[in-house]
Amino acid sequence: MSALEVEENVNLHELVSEKIKFGEELIATIHKYKNLEGIQKLQRKITQELNFLRQIVKSGKIKKEHIQCSNLTHFSAVVNTLGNIEKCVCVNKVVVLDDRKIVIDIICDGGLTWMKVIARNPKSLSQICMGDASYGVRSVIDHAEDYLECAKLNPHLFQIPKVVFVFVNGLGSNLAAKIESLGIKVEGARLINVDISETEDSNLDKARKTERNDVNLSSPNISHITRLNLDVSAMLAYVSSVCNGSAGLYEFPNGVLAQQAEWERLRPQKPILDDFFKGKFNQRYENHNCFNVLSTGKKLYCCETARDSFISIVNTVGGPSEKKRSEEFLNQVKVLPDDASVEDTEEKNIVRNVQLTPDKTLSVGGKIKERSLTIFTFGDRIGAVTVTSNDGFVRAAKQQGIDFVVFVHESRALTEQKEQTRGVRSEEK
């Protein structure tokens, strides 16, 4: 063994020893929370981590990964957060979502607030959200959606618990805005330029200057298909305030909404959707505010999962006008069960050539989310074009050999609440 290798082993041994001491001090710290539900489980996890570190020290086979991948940093962040909150009732609470176990780090405010504590590097968080990670690695956005869904399924005192994400090392400002747009409160330092790489920044600049390239994902030769399956993203874009006249009225302080408002001024999505709904995508439909989209053209469908998710999101983060538009829009959409078939559409031109068959399925993970898979599979079964902005799902499905029949538009979030609280009217600038 060379002198350099000996020195490196000594340094690693010292780092592991420091990690073990850190864990032992952490166990001593949490003793004051001994009566808190779930604290014994947290202590067992810390002890298991310490036993593992002691074992590798004993074996002499220490690697950098053993230090970098230690969960003690996360456990410490949870304990430190406990010292800053009131009325904590539980830690490490396990709830079940779609046969998966979701761990709620902290439940406080007497049960009305759920907290997730994130101690990862801000740059790493953003890279994972951009897809720069191994297959199956879940992003903080994935965790956000899980928490929101679990909270909806586990009301407390007849209320859906509020969800708070605590980033102890901070996070990128754009990522923070995206999480907040889901209806989650974000705590932690907002770091500028953490979540946009030079490559991504260049791509965004191109998107501002050129026509959208999402249409390249759309299926060709679909004008003859009369059935349209609406994804949640399509319905949100259609009723969003930013797509219904406010894009030029407000300027937002955060990156995501400001970016979408700018794109909307360049490429309004409501006229694009209206034209496609009416079967005349290559023509400009002048009355963009008309909701009578069923008078001519296509028949609009959605499954119950899409309808329920859409209503939940609108009720959580939608403004008064967005909620009203949502009600009017849903009145013109035929809602069918998730497992409906083309026969349930009561239309004559029956199409039986579906993409998904018993021997050709998609694996859930990464960009293939359970809810999206349900929605896209529904459109496949009823022989409809799925209208969506979920380009990540479409690409991931293509990688697994499934080419859904789709029309892809640009994403737009609900903005009315932010307009009222954080937006600045253009004439006030």
Name the nearest CA neighbour of 232 among 145, 359, 292, 136.
145
Determine the pLDDT at residue 18: 82
The answer to whether residue 128 is domain-embedded is yes
Looking at the fold, whether 102 and 140 belong to one and the same domain comes out as yes
Looking at the fold, whether 363 and 264 belong to one and the same domain comes out as yes
Looking at the fold, whether 50 and 136 belong to one and the same domain comes out as no
Determine the pLDDT at residue 222: 86
Looking at the fold, whether 34 and 56 belong to one and the same domain comes out as yes
Q: Summarize the confidence of residues 408-427 as an average pLDDT.
A: 74
Q: Summarize the confidence of residues 154-177 as an average pLDDT.
A: 90
Looking at the fold, whether 172 and 227 belong to one and the same domain comes out as no
Q: Percent of the chain having pLDDT more than 90?
A: 35
Looking at the fold, whether 89 and 187 belong to one and the same domain comes out as yes
The answer to whether residue 201 is domain-embedded is no
The answer to whether residue 103 is domain-embedded is yes
The mean-pLDDT minimum among 21-35, 121-135, 348-362 falls in 348-362
Q: Which of 11-25, 111-125, 168-182, 319-333 has the highest mean pLDDT?
A: 319-333
The answer to whether residue 204 is domain-embedded is no
For 116-126, how does the pLDDT look when each residue is reduced to its tens digit (9 = 90+)? 999 888 888 87
Domain count, the chain: 3
Helix, strand, or coil (residue 199): helix
Looking at the fold, whether 16 and 119 belong to one and the same domain comes out as no
Domain boundary among 196, 222, 240: 196
Neighbour order of strands in the sheet with 227-230? 334-336, 299-303, 227-230, 385-388, 406-408
Residue 295 pLDDT exceeds 60:
no
Q: Summarize the confidence of residues 307-332 as an average pLDDT.
A: 94
Looking at the fold, whether 139 and 217 belong to one and the same domain comes out as no
For 156-166, how does the pLDDT look when each residue is reduced to its tens digit (9 = 90+)? 888 999 999 99
* 365: number of Cβ within 10 Å: 14
The answer to whether residue 394 is domain-embedded is yes
Domain boundary among 71, 97, 126: 71
Residue 133 pLDDT exceeds 90:
no
The answer to whether residue 312 is domain-embedded is yes
Average pLDDT along the chain:
80
Looking at the fold, whether 338 and 380 belong to one and the same domain comes out as yes
What are the beta bridge partners of residue 168? none
Helix, strand, or coil (residue 58): helix
| β pairing state of 190-191 and 227-230 | unpaired
Residue 306 pLDDT exceeds 90:
yes
Residue range(s) defining the domain that contains residue 329: 211-428
Confidence band (pLDDT; 50, 70, 90) for 220?
A: confident
Sign of the alpha-carbon torsion through 314, 320, 321, 323: positive
Determine the pLDDT at residue 236: 95
Residue 63 pLDDT exceeds 70:
no
For 346-355, how does the pLDDT look when each residue is reduced to its tens digit (9 = 90+)? 665 555 556 6
Helix, strand, or coil (residue 156): strand
Burial 8-35 (b: 16+ CB within 10 A, else e): eeeebeeebeebbebbeebeeebeebee
Confidence band (pLDDT; 50, 70, 90) for 380?
A: very high
Determine the pLDDT at residue 392: 87
Q: Which of 120-134, 160-174, 322-336 has the highest mean pLDDT?
A: 322-336
CATH of the domain at 141: 3.40.1350
Helix, strand, or coil (residue 388): strand
The answer to whether residue 340 is domain-embedded is yes
Q: Summarize the confidence of residues 49-71 as an average pLDDT.
A: 72
Looking at the fold, whether 337 and 222 belong to one and the same domain comes out as yes
Domain boundary among 23, 41, 71: 71
Determine the pLDDT at residue 69: 54
Looking at the fold, whether 256 and 393 belong to one and the same domain comes out as yes
The answer to whether residue 80 is domain-embedded is no
Rg of the chain over Cα atoms, rounded to whole angstroms, equals: 25
Residue 399 pLDDT exceeds 60:
yes
Cα separation, 303 vs 325, whole angstroms: 19
